[in-house]
Structure 1
């Protein structure tokens, strides 16, 4: 089944509601169709050619692969990124699924990231010359720890007033991203900006994952206050990747099998890849 009756096309703005409804019933019903649709349109400015690609059979959506695009400064030049996101195809059209991936990777001039591959996708990415990022991760319990000289704000205006340069631009670009949670900590007069997301492990939505830390030097001094904040937000533990934090919190457990994250680029190395402007900041699965 499937065959020539299945039509491949970019996801345009007019397709977004239908694709959102499809992902709601076919991939993750915890997100409503409207939440999926809103997640697909990122808040940052970008010359995105599409929102990914989708498959239709007899006019009905039967598969989709989302993409998030951005233009990022790297070593004084602008690099274009395409983040591969949710990928789902109906069982009866499973043989058509690779068409979606080929369409995305066939777009020239991009560095590609896949920051949440699972199952057979990891091996497939390896065959397609994706490389693994070092995702060494420590799981650290959050606690109401004492802290002095550190003040915290989550108010958008208050955060913006404390930041400048690249951190200020990142805040402005991600304030509307559905999965990104923001906090600015004042550490003896110096601002530390942290983006985190709520995550699930073993079906339990009680974890925070750090996605961005503006200063590895300030993080150790602010950790107690940040940990207390995350606990108050319902996160019993925080997943801290070495490559994100640049520092290892005391205690905790090193994960034997951290989640893989991958990239493919002719121009960039692993150090040039982060988790911003991506599915991780936009989709609250």
Structure 2
């Protein structure tokens, strides 16, 4: 076999969608897979759409990459989220997958994330590609049968970053008015396990208020007993009152020379594009 790696281009979309839908998961509709190439937050000068492994003009492997530019601490930081890594079986075990990752993540000026790495991918990224743990635990808060001393209002996301996610399925945008002040946050709502509805925090504009008022916010937010508010530990400065701790099944990973874990939230990832669940 004489396979080679190159950047994925927008005109690779149809062939990559066929590869992923046919071989990786037919449960994900083709139009969802196509969003990896055309997503709301894609910078106009995004360098590529990931990496493809090609042989004889045929794409036999793909590693997805979605890019976003975020203003953090007064600087514009480009973040690349990796996902949807698939090789046809005859091309596995030959180093192609690792080579694709190393080629994609070679730019030291970018921050890279993988929020859904399997144990095998986790081991490879940390051992060979310079990735580290972004988060491995989250705070869990359950609703309480009492009146909450906060007022929650669902809002339409009007400005970046939340406006990138307007209209996305199962994403809720909320403004909380609390005794400590107001904060705006976004949660992704999905059922896991035995029907437990996780309200997974994606982003909060004032994490310190969310942390201090999380118990009351959960009481007002959660619509049923079989629901929890889940907050990755890095996303708030302190343990919320009343919170239990839970291990994240697949730890979130990152590689960055410029950003701290607390600066990297869960807003930009393939889970939202593909309508999946964050581990």
TM-align CA RMSD: 3.1
* Contact 1:43–1:176 (CA under 8 A) maintained in structure 2: no
> Which position in structure 2 is the counterpart of 1:77?
75
Counterpart of 2:255 (choices 251, 264, 268) is: 264
After TM superposition, the structure 1 = structure 2 runs for residues 41-120 of structure 1, keeping only pairs within 5 Å, are: 41-46=38-43, 47-94=45-92, 95=94, 96-107=96-107, 109-120=109-120
More strand by share: 2
Secondary structure of residue in 1 paired with 2:79:
strand
* Contact 1:208–1:235 (CA under 8 A) maintained in structure 2: no
Aligned residue pairs, count: 271
Residues 7-50 of structure 1: CA distance to partner in whole angstroms, max 9, x if unpaired? 43322222223323322233333321111212542212512111
Q: What is the distance in 1 between the residues matched to 2:198 and 2:100?
A: 32
* Contact 2:115–2:253 (CA under 8 A) maintained in structure 1: yes
Q: Shift in Å at residue 141 of structure 1?
A: 3.2
Secondary structure of residue in 1 paired with 2:207:
coil
Q: Shift in Å at residue 218 of structure 1?
A: 3.2
Q: Shift in Å at residue 143 of structure 1?
A: 5.4
Residue range with higher mean Cα deviation, 206-215 or 53-62: 53-62
Residues 253-272 of structure 1: CA distance to partner in whole angstroms, max 9, x if unpaired? 42245531122123333343
> Which position in structure 1 is the counterpart of 2:273?
282
Q: What is the distance in 2 between the residues matched to 1:140 and 1:40?
A: 36
Q: What is the distance in 1 between the residues matched to 2:139 and 2:213?
A: 18
Asked if 1:216 is matched to 2:217, the reply is no
TM-score scaled by structure 1? 0.79
Secondary structure of residue in 1 paired with 2:109:
coil
* Contact 1:54–1:63 (CA under 8 A) maintained in structure 2: yes
Counterpart of 2:223 (choices 227, 231, 252) is: 231
Q: What is the distance in 2 between the residues matched to 1:189 and 1:16?
A: 48
Question: Structure 2: any 5+ residue segments left out of the alignment?
Answer: none
TM-score scaled by structure 2? 0.80
Q: What is the distance in 2 between the residues matched to 1:204 and 1:25?
A: 29
After TM superposition, the structure 1 = structure 2 runs for residues 194-213 of structure 1, keeping only pairs within 5 Å, are: 194-199=185-190, 201-202=192-193, 206-213=197-204
Q: What is the distance in 1 between the residues matched to 2:188 and 2:36?
A: 14
Q: Shift in Å at residue 227 of structure 1?
A: 4.8
* Contact 2:143–2:222 (CA under 8 A) maintained in structure 1: yes
Q: What is the distance in 1 between the residues matched to 2:206 and 2:194?
A: 31
Q: What is the distance in 1 between the residues matched to 2:111 and 2:248?
A: 26
Q: What is the distance in 2 between the residues matched to 1:18 and 1:142?
A: 46
Q: Shift in Å at residue 205 of structure 1?
A: 7.2
> Which position in structure 1 is the counterpart of 2:123?
123
Q: What is the distance in 2 between the residues matched to 1:64 and 1:76?
A: 34
